[in-house]
Amino acid sequence: MSTGAVGRAYPRLEGREKVTGTARYAVEYPVDGITYGWAVPSAVVRGRITRVDTTQALASPGVLAVVHHGNAPRLAPGPEPELWLLQEPAVHYRGQYVAVVVATSLEAAREGARLVRIDYDAGPHSTVLTDDHPGLYQPDHVNPSYPTDTAEGDFDAGYAAAPVRVDVTYRTPAYHNNPMEPHATTAQWRDGRLLVHDSNQGATSVRATLAELFEVPPESVRVVAQHVGGGFGSKGYAKAAVVLTALAARHVDRPVKLALTRQQIFGPIGYRTPTIQRVRLAADADGRLTAICHDAISQTSTIREFAEQTAVYTRSMYAAPHRRTTHRLVRLDVPTPFWMRAPGECPGAYALESAMDELALAVGIDPVELRIRNDTEVDPDQGRPFTSRNLVACLREGAQRFGWTDRDPTPRARRDGRWLIGTGMAGSSYPARARPSSARATARPDGSFLVQINATDIGTGARTAIWQVAADALGVPPERVEIHIGDTALPTAPLAGGSMGTASWSWAVIRAAQTLREKLQDLPGGVPADDVSADADTTDEVGGQPTLPRYAYGAQFAEVRVDADTGEVRLNRMLGVFAAGRVVNPTTARSQLIGGMTMGLSMALHEEGLLDERYGDWVNHDLATYHITGCADVESVEAYWLDEHDDELNPAGVKGIGEIGIVGAAAAIANAVHHATGVRVRDLPIRLDKLVGTSSLA
Amino acid sequence: MQGGGENATTTDERHSSRVTFEVNGSSREVTLDNRTTLLDALREHLDLTGAKKGCDHGQCGSCTVLLDGRRVKSCLVFAVTLEGRSVVSVEGLAGPDELSPLQAAFIAHDAFQCGYCTPGQLCSARGMLDEVARGWPSAVTDDLSAPAELTDAEIRERMAGNLCRCAAYPHIVAAVRETAAAS
Ligand code: FES
Ligand code: FES
């Protein structure tokens, strides 16, 4: 019996705390005897620390300690070399944290950090990704565990034989996640036990990593993440802040809080790798794809391999008899790239969906129609039918809502005064997955229920969505359900990432609720004074699920105006229609989708990590010079979804919505810019200097 | 809870000052390191952690508060300069257990996700609406002599100093528009 909470638009449960300023984030908990940490980044790219002179720093009022490789508590060499911090004199990239100053005030810690003198022996470095870099190699697999290369049919022959061909190379720069709350931690050791309040996307894995690094049992570590100021992938696992803070707290034997500065999170906590992507498409005269090849190049660091799965999107999106995808990687003297909202799919879809636009023009077919013609019910990669694929329905509804019909495909055909107007579109997809989770449901004698799960709400609305799912599963009005998340003291659960959170968490919550209801049926006398609880663990059930191609789909539409004189690009409006399974909460879902689409706008027009090879670092590492889309940049962004039911997903029937909003968004905008101007900019972002001076834009 | 006095004793006496200013309606006397910003004074000395630190450089707006009724980025203001001045942070936008119309509209329109930029958005919007009421033009105001009219373009322009990485912008504009229309 469902009370119908799922599908209803509830405001966020923590809304009141967030608008009154009482929601506490990682470094906002009052702690007696707190001290302040300040990270010191390396000033060289590659080399060795030869001397750390702490004299001046320690003489500065309030400074308690300078923790560095010479005196830091030892860490076990764990699986994540990026976190083996302050353990060795070697420096692997500029900005790598090499010391932490601890002081009795923030000001003293910051001043102390300025006074630490570090000498280095610096070696030559290589920090720029090129398509002919001598270090290019083929990784064993790409993130997280996809095959590096795939091939079906005979691409070369199929491509050569086709009447219409497109061979284009796209480039994307480094993008920096930049959650508004920088990575931050409060750490307290007491009797060998560690308590951290940390800004992360999954406290369960952070606890495991800390236990491993500090060689303590996981039960001795508690990680709390009640409110998290965004992550977008960059807080997916334990990152430097939590390790540095725990190290510092152990060293000074006092509680320490440390927030990385905005400048310090451009790189060492991860970023989206730059990519170079060659896409070749071949089609018959009707626009049916006969050959597809996507060759992607990206970078990783010298200390850890992270291989962005850039071309994976192309494996399952459109059908063709001859297909090939490859990934090549270069180890550079840079921080390790990591997840940023839809890693792989986001940059990959930019390239493929742009190339599809170029193909549409080459064949003379409407870009929406081209995608409909190349739709497939069977996953070209796995060879099995998709559990549900509503790409075409998204395309049709999007075209209708946006007003796409009767579009004149001629570039540079619409003008309004000095503005050139253009429209563009793109397809979108993202895998629908789930991970094992556990949860606990408790009935209380007063008729209320408590649901506990170590899920994380990084702004997605997870707390509210799980609460709604729990109410329906318990068969009670949601007002009778209390939900606790964001603490490793609760049943373990996977992170908020990969658009898997709601699917994974709700699965365990539903199972716990079902078991609890069965228990209650056996208690005719009602709930005893000491409550009744039921635990669930979905490890077997999730692991036993058949491997099927499960994807969410979408269609993105954009209208831009481009100043014919200055090349300034403005987004007039953007509209997306998505098929993402059941939508638990329309309010928070819409916000997620709009947020993803807007980050795609940011990717297309605004963001760009500018690396200076001499210093081997991004020079625009702040929010004044690395522009993320602001309020004045967003005139109209609308998200809609189809009513979609897919029984082969998970008990809640959800596909995940955190990432699909960004997939294809940049391509839709880039395609619109081409339509407006006739200029095809193939390296993002589309800055005005790439438009002015071209023959089209006089 | 850490008090200002406790922290201040650890800094050099010559580099700290006693300062009295009003915060959310009550007078607060604190001894602060001269380098302490208003943002850090609120967060680290007065346990008012509503104002957020997103950049510490005046680039993101997360730390926006009202100083004598005008919106300022509190990370750019030294607290020792505030003798006798009046600060309102997000905690002071409404009475205890109350929500201001703007706060209620932010919830109703889902004008935030992670919530980290939200206190700054709210204070900024509060200050901005007063600027409009006073007739101050913005960069997109066409007629500088006419009373400022709060179009969506005006709201977007006037709120452009408050970044939101979750990109709740359309909902922020809707919440501000509704609040302005109702008042
Ligand atoms: S923290 Fe003050 S503007 Fe960013
Ligand atoms: S709500 Fe997350 S940054 Fe604005």
- For A379-437, strand residue ranges (E) read 414-416, 419-431
For residue A310, which amino acid is it? T
> Are A259 and A197 spatial neighbours (Cβ–Cβ below 8 Å)?
no
The pLDDT value given to residue A520: 96
pLDDT band for position B147 (cuts 50, 70, 90): confident
CA distance linking residue A269 with residue A265, whole number of Å:
6
The pLDDT value given to residue B6: 42
> What count of other Cβ atoms lies within 10 Å of the Cβ of residue A664?
36
Ligand 1: centre distance to CA B57 (Å): 5
> Are A24 and B43 spatial neighbours (Cβ–Cβ below 8 Å)?
no
Q: For ligand 1, pick from B59, B72, B164 the residue to mutate: most ligand atoms within 8 Å of CB.
A: B59
> Looking at the structure, do residues A86 and A188 belong to the same domain, yes or no?
yes
CA distance linking residue A76 with residue B76, whole number of Å:
41
CA distance linking residue A551 with residue A497, whole number of Å:
15
Report the nearest-CA residue for atom 3 of ligand 1.
B58
Q: Which active-site residues of A does the annotation give? A: 659
Interface contact A262, partner B, CB < 8 A: yes
> Looking at the structure, do residues A105 and A210 belong to the same domain, yes or no?
yes
> Looking at the structure, do residues A500 and A443 belong to the same domain, yes or no?
yes
Residue B23: phi and psi, rounded to 5, are -125, 120
pLDDT lower than 70: segments of chain A: 1-3, 695-696, 698
Interface contact A18, partner B, CB < 8 A: yes
For ligand 1, residues with CB inside 6 Å are: B 53-56, 58-63, 73, 75
Residue position matching structure tokens 């968490």: A505
Q: Which atom of ligand 1 is nearest to the CA of B52?
A: 1
Q: Which atom of ligand 1 is nearest to the CA of B61?
A: 3
Interface contact B166, partner A, CB < 8 A: yes
pLDDT reading at B4 higher than 60:
no
CA distance linking residue A565 with residue A555, whole number of Å:
31
Among residues A450, A469, A584, which one has the least CA distance to residue A516?
A: A450
Q: For ligand 2, pick from A12, A178, A180 the residue to mutate: most ligand atoms within 8 Å of CB.
A: A180
CA distance linking residue A545 with residue A579, whole number of Å:
22
Note whether residue A657 is domain-resident.
yes
CA distance linking residue A683 with residue A276, whole number of Å:
9
Q: For ligand 1, pick from B42, B73, B124 the residue to mutate: most ligand atoms within 8 Å of CB.
A: B73
> Looking at the structure, do residues A413 and A285 belong to the same domain, yes or no?
yes
Note whether residue A134 is domain-resident.
no
Nearest to B116 among A34, A230, A634 (CB): A230
The pLDDT value given to residue B183: 84
* B99 class by beta-carbon count within 10 Å (0-12 exposed, 13-18 middle, 19+ buried): middle
Note whether residue A619 is domain-resident.
yes
Residue of A nearest to B14 (CA): A61
Non-local (6+) Cβ contacts of A593 within 8 A are A576, A578, A639, A641, A657, A660, A661
> Looking at the structure, do residues A283 and A361 belong to the same domain, yes or no?
yes
CA dihedral for A312, A314, A319, A321, sign (positive or negative): negative
The pLDDT value given to residue A606: 98
CA distance linking residue B108 with residue B124, whole number of Å:
18
Q: Count Cα neighbours of A52 within 13 Å in the Cβ-side half-sphere.
A: 27
Ligand 2: centre distance to CA A626 (Å): 17
- Residues in chain A with CB shorter than 8 Å from the CB of B53 are 182, 259
Interface contact A176, partner B, CB < 8 A: no
Quick check: CB of B84 below 6 Å from ligand 2? Answer: no
The pLDDT value given to residue B2: 39
Nearest to A107 among B35, B55, B152 (CB): B35
Which H or E run contains A435? none
Residue A632 to residue B157, Cβ atoms within 8 A: yes
Question: What is the Cα gyration radius of chain A?
Answer: 26
Q: Count Cα neighbours of B25 within 13 Å in the Cβ-side half-sphere.
A: 7
The pLDDT value given to residue A2: 53
Residue position matching structure tokens 């922020």: B172
> Are A677 and A696 spatial neighbours (Cβ–Cβ below 8 Å)?
yes
CATH code at A43?
Answer: 3.30.365.10
Task: Tell me the longest C-alpha to C-alpha distance in chain A.
Answer: 83
> Minimal Cα–Cα distance from B119 to chain A, Å?
6
3-state percent helix, strand, coil for chain B, nearest multiple of 5: 40, 15, 45
For chain B, which residues make up each domain, given as ranges? Answer: 5-92, 101-182
Interface contact A104, partner B, CB < 8 A: yes
Q: Which atom of ligand 1 is nearest to the CA of A262?
A: 4
> Looking at the structure, do residues A464 and A513 belong to the same domain, yes or no?
yes
> Looking at the structure, do residues A205 and A334 belong to the same domain, yes or no?
no
Length of chain B: 183
pLDDT reading at B86 higher than 90:
yes
CA dihedral for A628, A553, A584, A223, sign (positive or negative): negative
> Are A516 and A442 spatial neighbours (Cβ–Cβ below 8 Å)?
yes
> Minimal Cα–Cα distance from B174 to chain A, Å?
11
Residue of A nearest to B154 (CA): A632
Mean pLDDT estimate for chain A = 97
Interface contact B141, partner A, CB < 8 A: no
β-strand pairing of A289-301 with A322-332:
parallel
Residue A30 to residue B2, Cβ atoms within 8 A: yes
* Range(s) of the domain holding residue A460: 15-23+435-542
The pLDDT value given to residue B36: 98
Q: What percent of chain B shows pLDDT beyond 70?
A: 93
Ligand 2: centre distance to CA B116 (Å): 5
**Contacts made by residues A286-289, CB under 8 angstroms, sequence distance 24+:** A286/A363, A286/A365, A286/A373, A287/A164, A287/A359, A287/A360, A287/A363, A287/A365, A287/A369, A287/A370, A287/A373, A287/A374, A288/A373, A288/A374, A289/A318, A289/A319, A289/A320, A289/A359, A289/A374
> Looking at the structure, do residues A518 and A576 belong to the same domain, yes or no?
no
The pLDDT value given to residue B145: 87
Note whether residue A697 is domain-resident.
no
Ligand 2: centre distance to CA B154 (Å): 21
CATH topology (fold) of B5-92 = Ubiquitin-like (UB roll) (3.10.20)
Ligand 1: centre distance to CA B62 (Å): 5
Ligand 2: centre distance to CA A592 (Å): 11
- Residues in chain B with CB shorter than 8 Å from the CB of A637 are 167, 169-170
> Looking at the structure, do residues A458 and A495 belong to the same domain, yes or no?
yes
Out of A525, A542, A559, a domain closes at A542
Out of A542, A564, A581, a domain closes at A542
> Looking at the structure, do residues A355 and A246 belong to the same domain, yes or no?
no
CATH topology (fold) of B101-182 = DNA polymerase; domain 1 (1.10.150)
CA angle A382, A387, A391 (to 5 degrees): 90
Note whether residue A66 is domain-resident.
yes
Residue A180 to residue B40, Cβ atoms within 8 A: no
> Looking at the structure, do residues A470 and A510 belong to the same domain, yes or no?
yes
> Looking at the structure, do residues A580 and A654 belong to the same domain, yes or no?
yes
pLDDT band for position B12 (cuts 50, 70, 90): low
Q: Count Cα neighbours of A38 within 13 Å in the Cβ-side half-sphere.
A: 23
Interface contact B110, partner A, CB < 8 A: yes
Q: What is the DSSP string of B115-162?
A: -SSHHHHHHHHHHHHHHHHTT---TT-S-SSSPP---HHHHHHHTTTS
Looking at the predicted complex, does its ipTM rise above 0.95?
yes
Structural domains counted in chain A: 3
Quick check: CB of B180 below 6 Å from ligand 2? Answer: no
The pLDDT value given to residue B9: 44
Out of A208, A234, A261, a domain closes at A261
**B124 alpha carbon, closest ligand:** 1
Q: What is the pLDDT of residues A379-430, one digit of tens each?
A: 999 999 999 999 999 999 999 999 999 899 999 999 999 999 999 999 999 9
- Residues in chain A with CB shorter than 8 Å from the CB of B169 are 598, 629-631, 634, 637
* A140 class by beta-carbon count within 10 Å (0-12 exposed, 13-18 middle, 19+ buried): exposed
Residue of A nearest to B121 (CA): A19
Residue B118 to residue A229, Cβ atoms within 8 A: no
Non-local (6+) Cβ contacts of B100 within 8 A are B93, B94, B126
> Are A427 and A370 spatial neighbours (Cβ–Cβ below 8 Å)?
no
> A434-443 b/e with 16+ CB inside 10 Å = b?
bbbbbbbbbb
Secondary structure of residue A628 in the 3-state scheme: coil
Note whether residue A2 is domain-resident.
no
Residue position matching structure tokens 């000052």: B17
CA distance linking residue B34 with residue B83, whole number of Å:
13
Among residues A121, A150, A648, A663, which one has the least CA distance to residue A432?
A: A648
CA distance linking residue A302 with residue A332, whole number of Å:
6
CA angle A342, A346, A350 (to 5 degrees): 175
